[in-house]
Chain A
Amino acid sequence: MNTAAVPANEVVRFARFFLQELKPRGKWLTPFNVISIPIIAAGLVILYFRFTQGLGSVTNLSQQYPFGFWIGFDVMTGVALAGGAYVICFVVYVLRLEKYHSILKVTILNGLLAYVFYSGALLLDLGRPWHIINPIIGNSFGYNSVLFLVAWHFLLYTGALFLEFAPTIAEWAHWERLRKFLTSLTLGTVIVGITLSMLHQSGIGAMFLMAKPKIHPLWYSEYIPLLYFVSSIFGGLAMVIFEGTISGKVFSNLIGQKTHHSHDDIILGLGKGAAITMFVYYFFLAFIFMHGEKWKLINTSWGYWYLVEVIGFVLIPCFMFAYGVRNKKFGVIRTAAAMTVLGVILNRQNVCLIAYNWYVVDKYYPSWQEIVVTLMVVFVEVWVFRWIVTRMSVFSKE
């Protein structure tokens, strides 16, 4: 018997199966498709100009603002909001809270796609994107740069998330032996993933430590790595609630009855976790504020903007989560989750763009092309997410 024929047959079978799976399912003319397809098409055209004529042709970046909306939104914010993956993995595999198991796969998938697309969007913002491989291959390693740590962690954590999700892919492709092998790796991968994630969430904040003279003192702190780490916990939890609410409505036919019923209990648990971490985060901010003696800065326009972020998008959602959990008001919890997601976006934009170079007269504003490309990245991610969840066993069928 020819043993080489078996893998060859398997490759042919998988190729046929994959081509079959690529065919679209369901209606084409949906509101989401009508909005997203023109934006994706426009984004691709803009990217063509970006890669052929350089960053200056489509962005408002300058020597004073070497990074803008693409880094500020995609990389900084996207990675923070993907924090739900490591938090839920920690809760399920380390704390052994089994009730969250039903949302584990979908949370890992969201994290994986967020890392692939949002940290992948880094390529768009680099003047010479082919140099992105330098920290990995040893061409000017830059050991003493925080960016070295972040680059390696992004790469390793994306690999870890892929391995965590790989059993679902193997199950979809009917590779049973491979699925069993990949499942046996899960616990080790999860532990490595949690460690990496905790380190690079704070590492992203640590990159701003060298920008002390450029960031407004209300947002700059030596503890910014700690703030980034803690905010990624509640930002991630809020994003899980937010995405879970949308997925629960859009893909309700893919979710089992038991999971549907347990969803409320899961939201209460996530809301409780978010309330406690936001409370801790708020006091960290208060300590930093007091220790830095920043009182004199508060009665300025920057001070009022700071209070909008801290009170409007940290303290108020924290109380809303607590009230919603205590009184089982799911609408309040979902609103608090949306506000928290907005708060994390606002915080990252403040540190990275708005309060960055705050003294400069010619401020940076993103061009319309930058906004369209960012929307394109988000929409393509949603398309890939939809393709995967409608084909693989991501939602619990129980």
Chain B
Amino acid sequence: MEYYSYINIFETKGLAYLLLLSFLVLGVLLIKYLAGPERKDPVPGKKNATIRR
């Protein structure tokens, strides 16, 4: 039995879920960050309208 190592999957899974959630949230933030800042372009008929490029 000396080669046997016990992994508590319940303990591991709790942290893994948190990590997965943080991955999803941070992933969305990264994509938004990489997309660049929102530019304010003049649009006919609207004043200071915001357009995402």
Q: Do A and B come from one complex?
A: yes
Q: Are B19 and A326 in contact (CB under 8 A)?
A: no
Q: Which A residue sits closest to B6, measured CB to CB?
A: A293
Q: Cβ of B33: which chain A residues have Cβ within 8 Å of it?
A: 322, 326
CA distance A275 to B16 in the complex (A): 23
Q: Does A283 contact B (CB under 8 A)?
A: yes
Q: Contact at B36–A291, with CB atoms within 8 Å?
A: no
Give the docked Cα–Cα distance between A118 and B19 (Å).
Answer: 38
CB of B30 within 8 A of CB of A279, answer yes
Q: Does B27 contact A (CB under 8 A)?
A: yes
Q: How many residues of A sit at the interface, in one of the four size bands?
A: 10 to 19
Within 8 Å CB of A286, what residues of B? Answer: 19
Tell me if B7 counts as interface (CB < 8 A to partner A): yes
The minimal Cβ–Cβ distance linking A212 to chain B, given in whole angstroms, is: 11
B interface bracket (residues with beta carbon within 8 Å of A): 10 to 19
**A287 lies within 8 A of B34 (CB):** no
Within 8 A of B (CB), among A271-293: 272, 275-276, 279-280, 283, 286-287, 290-293
Cα(A381)–Cα(B33), bound, Å: 39
A-B contact count (CB 8 A): 35
With A279-B27, A283-B23 known as contacts, the answer to whether A291 contacts B16 (CB < 8 A) is yes
How long is the Cα–Cα vector from A10 to B40 in the complex, in angstroms? Answer: 63
Does B43 sit within 8 A of A, measured CB to CB? no
Taking CB atoms, residues of chain A closer than 8 Å to B7 are 291-293
- When distances are taken between beta carbons in the complex, the residues of chain A under 8 Å from B37 are 326
B31 with A276: CB separation less than 8 A = yes
A239 within 8 A of B: no
CA gap between A192 and B12 in the complex, in Å: 40
Enumerate chain B residues within 8 angstroms of A276, measured Cβ to Cβ. Answer: 30-31, 34
Q: How many whole Å from B22's CB to the nearest CB in chain A?
A: 8
B15 at the binding interface (Cβ < 8 Å): yes
Given A290-B12, A293-B7, A293-B12, A272–B19 Cβ distance below 8 Å?
Answer: no
Q: Is A326 touching B12 in the complex (CB atoms < 8 A)?
A: no
Main DSSP-derived SS at the B contact region: helix
Chain A residues near B26 (CB-CB < 8 A): 279
- Contact across chains for B19 and A325 when beta carbons are under 8 A apart: no
B12 touches A272 (CB 8 A): no
Interchain CA distance A290-B9 in the complex, whole Å? 11
For A272, list chain B residues within 8 Å (CB).
34
* Alpha-carbon distance A82/B51, docked complex (angstroms): 39
A290 touching B34 in the complex, CB below 8 Å, given contacts A279-B27, A283-B23:
no
| Distance of A123 Cα from B12 Cα, bound (Å) | 44
Distance in angstroms between the alpha carbons of A276 and B30 in the assembled complex: 8
In the complex, which residue of chain A has the Cβ closest to the Cβ of B15? A290
A287: B residues at CB distance < 8 A: 16, 19-20
Give 10 nearest A-B pairs by CB, closest first: A283-B23, A272-B34, A290-B15, A291-B12, A325-B34, A279-B30, A286-B19, A290-B16, A326-B33, A322-B34
A interface with B by C-beta (< 8 Å)? 272, 275-276, 279-280, 283, 286-287, 290-293, 322, 325-326
Subset of 15 A-B contacts with CB under 8 Å: A276-B31, A279-B26, A279-B27, A279-B30, A286-B19, A287-B16, A290-B19, A291-B7, A291-B12, A291-B16, A292-B7, A293-B12, A322-B33, A325-B34, A326-B36
List 4 additional contacts besides A275-B30, A279-B27; criterion CB under 8 Å: A283-B23, A286-B19, A322-B33, A326-B33
